[in-house]
Amino acid sequence: MSELIRFSVAMPENLLVQFDSLVARRGLAKNRSEVIRDLVREALVDEEWDDPSQEIVGTLSIVFSHHAADLQGKLDQVQHAHHDKIISAMHVHLDAHNCLEVIVLRGKSEVVRGIADAILGVKGVKHGRLTATTTGLYL
């Protein structure tokens, strides 16, 4: 980590009260400075994702029925077509009927979003969410 630099922040009292409540919810390992750094990183990740040409990392979680006809085959087809952008995938048999897949993607923002949309668009996917993270250049 690079050298820490102190600066002061002014904010309305009611906002500070709410911020301190957030700091408390994040637990003993976090203080105001840590939480502000987390929020700044979050804003920077959001900015990366808004730039279609920016290299990003995303995690796509999907839940689907094990029984749906050829659904696994269709999901595999999309993933094989983009194997160079998929770093890793994990399959969990949640119960007798449902499967969870966690797919980690890396590439340009617009490409990663496109692959995620293609996977989420496969008929039979019950729930899914793409989570933004970063290659970590400024962490």
Nearest distance, CB of residue 29 and Ni ion, angstroms: 35
**Residues near 114 by Cβ (< 8 Å), separated by ≥ 6?**
none
Residue 3 or 95 having the CB closest to Ni ion: 95
Using a CB cutoff of 8 Å and minimum separation of 24, what contacts does 114-119 make?
115/78, 115/82, 115/85, 115/86, 116/58, 116/60, 118/78, 119/60, 119/62, 119/75, 119/78, 119/79
Question: Which CB atom, from 61 or from 133, has the smaller least distance to Ni ion?
Answer: 61
In the complex, which residue's CB is closest to Ni ion?
99
In whole angstroms, the minimum distance from the beta carbon of 89 to Ni ion comes to 12
CB closer to Ni ion, 32 vs 66: 66
Binding site for Ni ion (CB under 5 A): 93, 99
- Taking the complex as a whole, how short is the minimal distance between the CB of residue 39 and Ni ion, in angstroms? 37
